[in-house]
A and B are shown apart, each in its own frame.
Chain A
Amino acid sequence: MTRLVEVPTSFDDRSFDQFAAAYAQASDGERLLFDAHAAEWASPYGLVGLLAAGEAAARKGERPLLTAPANPDVVSYWARAGFFREAGDLFEVHGKVPKLKPAVESEVLLPVTPVRAAADVHAVVSTIQQRASAILSSELGLDPKATMGFAMALSESCQNIVEHAGTGGWVAVQAYNWRRKLARRVVVIAVADAGVGFRHSLESTQAKRFGERWGDAAALEAALIQGVSRFRDPGRGQGLAGIRRYLARWEGKVAIRSGTARIAIVPRWDDDVPLKDGLPAFPGSQVLLIIPEQASEKGSSKQ
């Protein structure tokens, strides 16, 4: 039997729970058909999240199916963003997919890129320094020195996969105009895996401390707010703390979804909630970092 999992028309972190709910209804052994034919837009978070779903589905049963977006502009964009290069290994893809190489264009700072080992993180950091410097300083108004901090934040986000997920994952970085919230340009880093998730990763060292409160939400709180790590090494837990510092400096946002919970450090410009629990279960961890264009000294921002 094949179960349909609809990909939201506009697929980003806000609509991800709708996608996760459809995914969570599948039972072991069912073949999944991810239907993106009606998709009109997907953020980097949506694209890497869809790959994570595909990997998890393949692990549980037959190789999943994916219907590509019918809109030629959308499917072309997904191809340029590097999605289909990765999707081909995970899904049986149906629909017309253009054979485009991942783009070197202004909005795709880093196409969807697999992260499996430390060498992949090196490659990602190297690429982003070459590509992002001009965007971050000229378009987002960040101090040129902030580029290195951006690379550090990206490195630490990717290392969560290498160090904790127990499997590979994907990262993508894009810049775009974010009309919905800010009417400003933003740079978005999205990292997703279908690994063990924060709760499982921290369970052996933290579950007892939290007692009955232990769960996905408590694990996210421990990792992001308290900076704890599954390793007893005293220097561990630096990565997420460093990401928080970097984002606080540039009024950025971090949100992490794992299992049935989602935690966020919410900047002034956003109305997200800091912690959500009881969400539809989804494997692994999905990390979202958003760095907005900085308001100019005159108080206006570039459009």
Chain B
Amino acid sequence: MISHINVHAVLQQAVAGFYTDLVTRPTGRAVRENIERALPPGTVAVMDFTGVGCLDYSCADEIVAKLVRDKVTVLLLRGLTDAHREAIEPVLAGAGLAVLCERADGVLEGLGASEPAPALLDELVERQLAARNPGGTIRLTAA
């Protein structure tokens, strides 16, 4: 089973004020704690960043890196802009962590440290949540 997280919606619930930017540690902490309450440990989760404006390094660490480190087995991100990737990638790489990222064409790829990414893809295939295509790429089987 995959848990789905709409980050923009969580941001609206977690923080007073109508923000679209994920900036500052306190905001990141509030969003992560809100997400964690709904996530069983060891889960596979999809986080959709559609509608999120600026994401800074502090929030990338506070939300993405900490969920990967402490809460989820596989974290799959979708709806990322290039700027979101630029914030998340160095934060994960610096901590030796990785997530999967769903490209616009549906192909999954690693983001962050290079070593853990293949195991994450294998985990999804093993759980039959993703499948390998003839070209060798991997896509989700369940949305």
- Chain A residues packing against B (C-beta within 8 Å): 118-119, 121-122, 125-126, 129, 145, 148-149, 151-152, 155-156, 159, 162-163, 234-236, 238-239, 241-242, 245
Q: Looking at the complex, which one of A126, A149, A241 makes contact with B83 (CB distance below 8 Å)? A: A149
Determine how close the nearest CB of chain B comes to the CB of A164; give it in whole angstroms: 11
Query: Is A125 a contact partner of B23 (Cβ separation < 8 A)?
Result: yes
Q: How far is the CA of A145 from the CA of B27 in the complex (A)?
A: 23
* Contacting residues, chain A, for B82 (C-beta < 8 A): 145
The answer to whether A122 and B66 touch (CB under 8 A), given A149-B86, A152-B57, A155-B56, is no
Most buried by A among B53, B65, B83, B91: B83
Partner of A148, one of B17, B19, B83, B94: B83
Contact B95 A235 (CB under 8 A): yes
Check A159–B58 contact: CB distance below 8 A. Answer: yes
- Return B34 CB to nearest CB of chain A, in Å: 15
Shortest A45–chain B CB gap in Å is 22
CB–CB A235/B66 < 8 A: yes
Complex: A35 Cα to B17 Cα, angstroms: 40
Asked if A235 meets B83 with Cβ closer than 8 Å, knowing A151-B21, A159-B58, A162-B24, the reply is no
Most buried by B among A118, A151, A239, A245: A118
Query: How far apart sit A172 and B26, CA to CA, in the bound complex (Å)?
Result: 22
Q: Which 5 A-B pairs have the closest CB atoms?
A: A148-B83, A235-B61, A238-B57, A242-B57, A118-B24
Query: Could you say which of B57, B58, B60, B83 contacts A145, with CB atoms under 8 Å apart?
Result: B83
A165 CB to closest chain B CB (Å) equals 14
Per a CB cutoff under 8 Å, which of A126, A145, A155 touches B24?
A155
Taking a contact as CB atoms under 8 Å apart, the answer to whether A241 and B54 are in contact is no
Chain B residues contacting A238 (CB-CB under 8 Å) are 57-58, 60-61, 90-91, 94
Rounded to whole Å, the gap between the CB of A143 and the closest CB of chain B is 10
Min CB distance B32 to A, Å, is 11
Contacts of A152 in B (CB 8 A): 23, 54-57, 83, 86-87
Q: Whose C-beta in chain A lies nearest to the C-beta of B87?
A: A152
Specify the main secondary structure of chain B where it touches its partner: helix
How many Å lie between the Cα of A12 and that of B135 in the bound state?
A: 58
Which listed residue (B19, B21, B87, B91) contacts A235, Cβ 8 A? B91
Question: Which B residues are in CB contact (< 8 Å) with A162?
Answer: 24
Inter-chain CA distance A152–B58, complex, in Å, is 9
In the complex, B81 has a CB within 8 A of chain A: yes
Cβ A163 vs Cβ B25 within 8 A = yes
A282: shortest Cβ distance to chain B, in Å? Answer: 26
Taking CB atoms, residues of chain A closer than 8 Å to B27 are 118, 122
A181 to B66, CA, bound (A): 43
Select from chain A the residue with minimum beta-carbon distance to B81: A148
Q: Check B54 against A151 for contact (C-beta < 8 Å).
A: yes
The smallest C-beta distance from A129 to any residue of chain B, in angstroms, reads: 7
Q: A156 and B17 in contact (CB under 8 A), knowing A148-B81, A235-B62?
A: no
Closest to A234 in B: B95
A155, B23: Cβ atoms closer than 8 Å: yes
Q: Which residues of B contact A234 (CB under 8 A)?
A: 95
Contacts A122-B21, A156-B56, A235-B66 known; A242 to B81 CB distance under 8 Å? no
A235 to B61, CA, bound (A): 6
- Cβ–Cβ < 8 Å partners of B26 in chain A: 118
Knowing A118-B26, A122-B24, A238-B61 are in contact, say whether A129-B54 is a contact too (CB < 8 A): yes
Which residue among A119, A125, A235 has the maximum number of chain B CB atoms within 10 Å of its CB? A235
* Whole-angstrom CA separation of A120 from B23 in the bound complex: 11
Per-residue 0/1 for B56-85: is the Cβ within 8 Å of any A Cβ (1 yes, 0 no)? 111011100110000000000000011100
Given A148-B83, A149-B83, A238-B91, also A155-B54 (CB < 8 A): yes
**Closest approach, in angstroms, between the C-beta of A204 and any C-beta of chain B?**
19
A122 touches B90 (CB 8 A): no
Contacts of A148 in B (CB 8 A): 53-54, 81, 83, 86
- B21: chain A residues at CB < 8 Å are 122, 125-126, 129, 151, 155
